[in-house]
Amino acid sequence: MTRAEKLRAGLLSIAELSGWNRLLVAAGFGALTAMSFAPLRLLPMLAIGLSGLTILLHGSLSKKKPLCSAFWTGSAFGTLYFAAGMFWLANAFLVQADAFAWLIPIVLPLFFFGLGLFFALSGLGSVWAVRRFGLSGLPALVPLILLLAVTEWLRGHILTGLPWNLYAQGTAGWGVLLQPLAAFGPYAYGLVLVALSLVPAAIVLNPSRTRRTATLGAAGLGAIILFGGLRLTLLAPELRDDTQIVVVQPSVPQRDKLDAQKRVEGLRRTLDMTEAAAARLEDGKAIFAIWPENAYPFIARIPELSGALSDRLPAQSYVVTGSIRATEDGGFANTFHMFGPSDGGAPLAATYDKHRLVPFGETLPFYSVFEALGIEALSPVGDGGFTPGTGPARIDGVPAPFAPLICYEDVFPGTLYPKGERPEWLVVVTNDAWFGDAAGPMQHLDIARMRAIETGLPIARSANTGISAVIDSEGRVLDTIPLYTPGTITSALPVARPPTLYTRAGDLIFWAMVSFIVLMVWRTGPQVAIEKVNHTASGER
C-alpha cells in the first residue's frame, strides 16, 4: 500500500466513527474551519475543515439512522465553527462583569448551537438528497455544496441576519483572492469557495478521478488568482485632490465610557487629536474629521461644541461621529451626527439613525417576555432598546456625498445605501471596544474590506479602540492604527470606481448559480434512478 493509499484509508476511517467520537471529530473540523478567519487567516483550513465534514457525512449514509447522524454531525461541526470564530463575544459580557458575566455559560453556548443548526440542516439535506436521488461519485457532493451556500445566505437574512464570518471572509489574508467579490458578491463567491474546498474530499471519496478533480480545482483557483492579480494591477491606488480625511482613534477603554468625568476627558482628547491632525493638511480643501461611534453621549446637546469646532478646525471642515440622541417619542436612537462646515459655525448639519440594531446589544427581542421574567435589565436603554431608523441613507450637500454606517451595519452586503443613490464613499463609525483585544475587531476590519470591493467604494473607518483604517475601492488598507493605540490618520480620499457587477446585479448572481445546481441535481438524480431500476429489472430476467 502506497503512502497516498494509507492516507486515504486513514481519512475514510473517520467516516466510520459513531457516537461521541464522531461528534468530537466533527466539532474539531468546525474549529479548524474557523481558523481561516482572523486573527490566523489560514485559508487552507477552510478546505481541510469542509472536506472533513464531507467525509463524515459520507459515512452517515451507511449508518442505521443516516439522517439523524447527518443532522448531529453538522450540528457539532457548526457549533464549534461559530464558537471558535466568535469566542470574543464573551468580552462584551465582561465590561460590566458583576452584572452580566454569569450569562456567558448560558447565552453563548445556546447562541453558537443555534447558529450551528444551519450546518445541521446542510448535513441532513445533503444526505437526504444523495439517498433520494441515488447520487454517487462527484455528483453526490453537489447537494452539500449547494446547501452550505444556501444556508449561509439564510443565516445572513433570517430574523435580523448574521452574515459574520462568511466563507468568502476566509480569503481576507490574501488580497488577490478577495477580488472576485466585485463580480460575485460574498454569497456567490462563497459557493465557489465551498466547491473548491471540497476538492480534497472529492479526491478521497473518488480516487479514480483524482487527476481530473485536481485539475479542475487547480484551474478554478488559478482563475481566481489571475482575475485578482489583474484587477489589483490595473486598478492601482488613486487619491482625490479635492477632499481630505482625518480618522481619529481616541482609544478610550469601554469601562471609562461609563464614568462621566472620563467621558469628558475622552472628548477633549479627541478634539485635541483632531486639531493637531487637521493642521497637517492642505488649506483650501474640504476636510472630513471622522470620530468613532459613541464618542460622547448626546453630543448635539453640548452648547460649547459648535464653537470649539469652528475655532479649532480649518475652514470647510466637517466632523462626523456617532452618539445617542433622544427621539421625539421619548425613546433613544443610536445616531450618526455631522457637524459643519466649520466656517459656518459648525452647526449640526445632518443626522442618520442606525436602522440595523444589534440584538441584545442595542435592542432586546421579545422584550415583553424578558420583562415578565424580571430580567428586562438586559435591555440597553428604554423599553426594549434603541429606536431603529427608517433605512440606509446618503448624506448630500457636501463636497463628497457619502453613506454613513454605524458599527454592525457594514456587516450586511448589498444594503449599505439607498437603492439608486450611490455615494462617493462610505464612512464607518464603530466602537469595537466591547470585544477586547481579540479576533472580533480584526474580523470587523476584514468585513469592511469586503464591502469596499463589493461596492467599488473607498471606506474611512473610525473605531474607538481600533482598528481604524482608510481602505481603497479594491479593499487595500492604505493606512491603519493598531488596536488600543491612540492615533490619527490623515489622507486624501481614495477615488470611487464605477459600479461593480455585484452592485448592479446583487444576489441575483448567487441565485442564478443555485438554480443551475438545482437543475443539475434534478436532471442527474432521476436519470440515475431510472438506470438503477432498468439494471435491476434486467438482472431479474
CB contact at 8 A, 107 and 115:
no
Task: Tell me the pLDDT band of 359, cut-offs 50, 70 and 90.
Answer: confident
Rounded percentage of the chain residues whose pLDDT exceeds 90: 69
pTM score: 0.92
Q: What is the pLDDT of residue 451?
A: 98
Contact (Cβ atoms closer than 8 angstroms) between residue 252 and residue 261: no
What lies within 8 Å, CB to CB, of 64 at 6+ separation is none
Q: Which segment of 134-138, 345-349, 442-446 scores lowest on mean pLDDT?
A: 345-349
The partner residues of 405 in beta bridges, in order of sequence, read 428
Residues that are catalytic: 293, 354, 407
The reported pLDDT for the residue numbered 383 is 63
Q: Is the pLDDT of residue 491 over 50?
A: yes
Q: Is a pLDDT exceeding 60 seen at residue 528?
A: no
Q: What is the pLDDT of residues 248-257, one digit of tens each?
A: 999 988 778 7
Asked if pLDDT for residue 243 goes beyond 60, the answer is: yes
Q: Which of 163, 205, 166, 164 is nearest to 53 (CA)?
A: 205
Out of 3.30.70.20, 3.60.110.10, 3.40.50.720, 3.90.1150.170, the CATH code matching 239-353+390-503 is 3.60.110.10
Query: Which pLDDT value is given to residue 425?
Result: 98
Note the residue count of the chain.
541
pLDDT for res 533: 43
Q: pLDDT averaged over the chain?
A: 90
Give whichever of 380-384, 418-422, 431-435 has the largest mean pLDDT. Answer: 418-422
* From 23-27, 78-82, 497-501, 527-531, the region with the lowest mean pLDDT: 527-531
pLDDT one-digit tens code per residue, 90-120: 988 887 788 788 889 998 999 999 999 999 9
Q: How far apart are CA 335 and CA 406, in angstroms?
A: 8
Indicate if the pLDDT at residue 224 is higher than 70: yes
Q: What integer is the mean pLDDT of 318-334? A: 89
382 CB neighbour count, 10 Å cutoff: 15
The per-residue pLDDT for range 434-456, each reduced to its tens digit, is 888 889 999 999 999 999 999 99
Determine the pLDDT at residue 366. 59
pLDDT confidence bin for 2, thresholds 50/70/90: confident
In this predicted structure, the answer to whether residue 374 has a pLDDT above a threshold of 80 is no
**Cα separation, 47 vs 496, whole angstroms:** 34
Sequence spans of domains, the chain: 3-234+507-540, 239-353+390-503, 356-389
Stretch 143-148: mean pLDDT, rounded? Answer: 96
Q: What pLDDT is attached to residue 538?
A: 47
pLDDT tens-digit series, residues 189-223:
999 999 999 999 999 999 888 899 999 999 999 99
Amino acid 301: pLDDT = 86
pLDDT tens-place string over residues 15-63: 999 999 999 999 999 999 999 999 999 999 999 999 999 999 999 999 9
475-482 long-range CB contacts below 8 Å, 24 or more apart? 475/175, 475/178, 475/179, 475/181, 475/449, 475/450, 476/175, 476/232, 476/237, 477/445, 477/449, 478/237, 480/445, 481/247, 481/249
Strand order across the 425-430 sheet: 402-406, 425-430, 459-463, 468-471, 477-481
pLDDT of 540 reads: 43
Name the phi and psi angles at 339, rounded to 5. -105, 140
Q: What is the pLDDT of residue 286?
A: 94
Of 75-84, 92-101, 116-125, 140-149, give the lowest mean pLDDT range: 92-101
How far apart CA 528 and CA 534 sit, in angstroms, is 10
